Amino acid sequence: MAVEPIAIVPDEVLTGEAVALDVQPLGFFLRALGTLIDVLVAVAGMLLLAWVSGWMLGEDIIGTDVSSILSILMIVLVTVVLPTAVETLSRGRSIGRLAVGGRIVRADGGAAGFRQALIRALVGVLEIWMTLGGLAALVGAFTPRSQRLGDLLAGTYCQRTRTPALPASAPGLPAALGEWAQVADVTRLPDPLARRCAQFVRQAERMQPSARARLAASLADEVAAFVSPLPATDAETLVRAVVAVRREREYAALRLEDDRVAGLVARTPAGPRGFPQR
């Protein structure tokens, strides 16, 4: 028996169970905005630490001979230690990524850990701080998932965590046409016309009344040639009823197919490792 290869598109991740997950990487401009927010927060933290150390020097709390050491420690703390700690403890989040709806994950879709966070922070000193973000922007603009150099070395990318709201559920069959739906023949309806009707039903509430009535009448005239018997109703109700009947029958057919496959698998004797014999 030939094994068919699994096609994985660029925005899919193949898990260890051979399941392709559709994950969306965060776009280049949103990544840049999130990085800018993180940099501004880091600069604010650095200024705060500088003010505190200056106050301590002015009050002779610490000696001037350790001021250079404190400056180096402050830079390391803000640019490496804090980003690594925040990203590790928050599982790939930061203030900037929370604002734009992103999260750092591994290339296989798993949560990033300490090693990935440390590599990204160390490389970030070069590509974000020393080059003012120029190197990160250049690399991110030419990678499929807007990955910066630190992501490429750590094997990570920024995943989109905010997905658009699901569309409203399609309206069901009008109650007055329940008996008609049991005997209606809508199988001859061409697929292109069926798709246009379904699109009209989804968008009808957002259309102007005149355009909505005109499009409903046009679709009803086309549908009338493929539906038998025709119910005594207005044009828009006819279109909605045909879409609802086709949707319910297609769903019922899919359920029957799933039940048939499940029954075949249940009746197939298992092999030595629990897999069905062929």
Query: pLDDT digit string (tens) for 123-159?
Result: 999 999 999 889 999 999 998 888 999 999 999 999 9
**The predicted structure's pLDDT at residue 264:** 65
Q: Cα dihedral angle (211, 213, 219, 224), rounded to 10 degrees?
A: -170
Residue range 20-40: mean pLDDT, rounded: 83
Residue 243 predicted with pLDDT over 80: yes
| Confidence (pLDDT) at 250 | 81
Confidence check: pLDDT of 31 > 80: yes
Q: Residue 204 is which amino acid?
A: A
Q: Which two tokens stand for residue 182?
A: 């049991």
In angstroms, what CA-CA distances link 177 with 103, 205, 244?
49, 21, 11
Quick one: which of 151, 130, 140 has its CA closest to 33?
140
**Quick one: average pLDDT of 181-194?**
84
Residue (of 105, 74, 73, 100) closest to 87 by Cα position = 105
What is the pLDDT confidence band of residue 122, given thresholds at 50, 70 and 90? very high
**Mean pLDDT of all residues in 180-202:** 85
Q: How confident is the model at residue 3 (pLDDT cuts 50, 70, 90)?
A: very low
Phi-psi domain of 109 (left: phi exceeds 0; alpha: psi -120 through 50; beta: other): left
Reported as a pLDDT band with limits 50, 70 and 90, residue 165 is low
Q: What's residue 20's pLDDT? A: 45
> Which range is least confidently modeled, 37-51, 79-93, 263-277?
263-277
Question: CA–CA separation, 39 vs 137, rounded Å?
Answer: 14
pLDDT of the residue at 248: 83
Separation of alpha carbons 270 and 257, rounded Å: 22
Is residue 9 predicted with pLDDT exceeding 50? no
Higher pLDDT, 122 or 24: 122
DSSP strand E in the chain: where? 12-14, 20-22, 102-106, 156-160
Place of tokens 């019922």: 252
Share of the chain above pLDDT 90, in %: 26
Give the pLDDT score at 19.
45
Per-residue pLDDT tens over the stretch 33-45: 999 999 999 999 8
Tally of CB atoms within 10 A around 98: 15
The percent of residues in the chain predicted with pLDDT above 70, rounded, is 78
Residue pair 38/93 in contact by the 8 Å Cβ criterion: no
